Amino acid sequence: MVAAGLSRLRQAGVNHLTVMGLVNPRANPRDIRQLIPEGFPNLGDPFFNEADTLLRLALRHAGMLVPMLDTRCLDGEVPDLLQGWLDKGFKGLKGLYLADERNDLKLAGVPAVFGISLRQYHRREWEIFAFAEANDLPVVYHMDARLYGDVMRAMLDDFPRLRINFPHFGIGRKAFAPILDRYPNVYTDIAYMLPHISANPAGYRDFICHYPDRVCFGSDALLYQPEIVLDYIDLVRSLKLPEEVEQGIFSENPRRFLGKALEPRQERP
């Protein structure tokens, strides 16, 4: 199923896909469900441990799949854990800001699920950002600029060299625009935005053209859903953007954001 879907995407001109895989060393099946949005079925491990499966797929489809480690359930010594997954083949990190239940995904907060304080949660997230910055790793981080803009700015002030993508236009374009204006290493993407962009194509076209070097392609499709990726390709083309802006979304901006994550893996001696 995955191989056939990737073949379809290659025929459509897709060269790389960033794919997120969750590692869950701590939460039981009941608790992990509180941290998973609706619409994401569990097709295997009841704990949603996806990391090893993703690495096997990335090896099988070398050069096309760019594996990124989902850190929402990370527990333990952060630098050691992340270095271990980096050594196995992960090329970047994915996170969600789940400090409390106010988040736009309507998920439980990590502190409540894991029985830790907000301060402990922030310490863990800051350790993840520090590791990513020190190792030149791209980070995709779901965070609502409308609710948590102050935390977003504090993070970016502390890690000025971090390349980070706040997907879905930061959940709110009006709140997110000042972040893009202030921080040159911040990116966003169009993932999960098809209904919103379709409802207001002129408004989103203007926003994209105002930030032509910051918006990346994305879909939020699962790995076995190539038709959704193709729908998002059609969505971008439907906006009739200037050629250089469209090329930026499809290629130049993602390449700049991902950086060395697109390079072939170098085995350690």
Q: Please give the span between the terminal C-alpha atoms of the chain, in angstroms, as a whole number.
A: 35
Q: Which fold has domain 2-262?
A: TIM Barrel (3.20.20)
CA 246/CA 251 separation, integer angstroms: 9
Residue type, 126: W
Residues 127 and 99: their CA atoms lie apart, in Å, by 15
Element (H, E) at 70: strand 65-70
Q: What is the pLDDT along the chain (269 residues), one digit of tens a residue?
A: 789 999 999 999 999 999 999 998 877 888 889 999 887 777 667 788 899 999 999 999 988 999 999 999 998 899 999 999 999 999 999 999 999 999 999 999 999 999 999 999 999 999 999 999 999 999 999 999 999 999 999 999 999 999 999 999 999 999 999 999 999 999 999 999 999 999 999 999 999 999 999 999 999 998 889 999 999 999 999 999 999 999 999 999 999 999 999 988 765 54
Alpha carbon 83 to chain centroid distance? Answer: 19
The pLDDT, as a whole number, for residue 266 is 64
Contact 178, 134 (CB under 8 A): no
Q: Which amino acid is at 199?
A: A
Q: In this structure, are strands 65-70 and 164-165 parallel, antiparallel, or unpaired?
A: unpaired
Q: For residue 123, what are the contacts with CB-CB under 8 A and spacing of at least 6?
A: none
CA–CA dist 206, 226 (Å, integer): 28
Predicted pLDDT at 268:
54
User: What is the spatial distance between Cα 218 and Cα 233, in angstroms, rounded to a whole number?
Assistant: 9
CA–CA dist 62, 173 (Å, integer): 35
- Tell me if 137 sits within 8 A of 184, measured CB to CB: no
Residue 90 CB partners (closer than 8 Å, separation 6+): 21, 51, 55, 67, 68, 69
Cα-Cα-Cα-Cα dihedral sign, residues 106, 54, 65, 85: positive
Three-state DSSP class for residue 93: strand
Residues β-bridged to residue 216: 189
CA triplet 53, 58, 63: central angle to 5 degrees?
175
**pLDDT (0 to 100) of residue 46:** 78
The token duo for 234 is 């059609």
Tell which residue, 235, 203, 241, has the closest CA to residue 217: 235
- In total, the chain counts a number of residues equal to 269
Given CA atoms 80, 85, 261, 92 in this order, what sign does their dihedral have? negative
The sign of the torsion formed by the CA atoms of 197, 203, 209, 210 equals negative
Q: Rounded to an integer, what distance in angstroms lies between the CA atom of residue 141 and that of residue 176?
A: 13
Asked if 99 and 143 touch (Cβ cutoff 8 Å), the reply is no
